[in-house]
Chain A
Amino acid sequence: ILNVEQSPQSLHVQEGDSTNFTCSFPSSNFYALHWYRWETAKSPEALFVMTLNGDEKKKGRISATLNTKEGYSYLYIKGSQPEDSATYLCAFSNSGYALNFGKGTSLLVTP
């Protein structure tokens, strides 16, 4: 069992604020880091898969960076909107077939 830590556990921001959260993972034997967005009553939806140190991915107002040497990834949301409210999960793989998920960061964006 690999320890994937996400912080903060929850976050409440105002519409228009930019925000970021962190995913920490073991830096040894790294293969890939995934980010998922999970809205209440829906299924997790894939945002990014990152594999190389220094990777940066962007999808609309959401972007992510990866540092495999120190074992962390940041997810950024620029100009948060109420529809960004969701739980953001990161998941790490180092070997085998399993993804190890963090517990997520719950984001609430209020108008």
Chain B
Amino acid sequence: DAGITQSPRHKVTETGTPVTLRCHQTENHRYMYWYRQDPGHGLRLIHYSYGVKDTDKGEVSDGYSVSRSKTEDFLLTLESATSSQTSVYFCAISESAPTSGRNQETQYFGPGTRLLVL
């Protein structure tokens, strides 16, 4: 299994509070991703990183920010949590970009974080 951990694994918070989720990898992979998974929507990309300090927005980035100060850590922050951000959040990593056309672009997923915003 790829060495990916997420913390916390479960969190309950109140509307309006800031929340930071952490993804940590031991694979030294360049690319890291944050997805959210909701019933009826499948996996949707929030933000991704293609290197230290290099990040960009995904499909559902509103209300989220990210930071990557070192290769192994990718942080997802909800500046002011809302109930619509209640979801399961998955981090993923890959050695290569999805456009590389090689097996190295396979994404490996972390165990997920369940977030409930009351």
Contacts and interface: CB of A to CB of B under 8 A. Distances in A.
Nearest to B6: A43
Interface in A21-64: 31-32, 34, 42-46, 49, 51
Contacts, number: 67
Given A43-B90, A49-B106, A97 B56 contact: yes
A74 B82 CA distance: 39
A51 B101 contact: yes
A97 B42 contact: no
Interface of chain A, main secondary structure: loop
A32 B98 contact: yes
Q: Which residue among A46, A51, A93 has the maximum number of chain B CB atoms within 10 Å of its CB?
A: A46
A73 B42 CA distance: 18
Contacts of A102: 42
B108 interface: yes
B74 interface: no
B8 to A, nearest CB: 16
A97 B97 contact: yes
Contacts of A32: 98-99, 101, 105
Nearest to B44: A101
A99 interface: yes
A93 to B, nearest CB: 4
Q: Which residue among A34, A45, A98 has the maximum number of chain B CB atoms within 10 Å of its CB?
A: A98
7 contacts: A34-B106, A42-B111, A46-B108, A89-B43, A96-B99, A98-B45, A99-B98
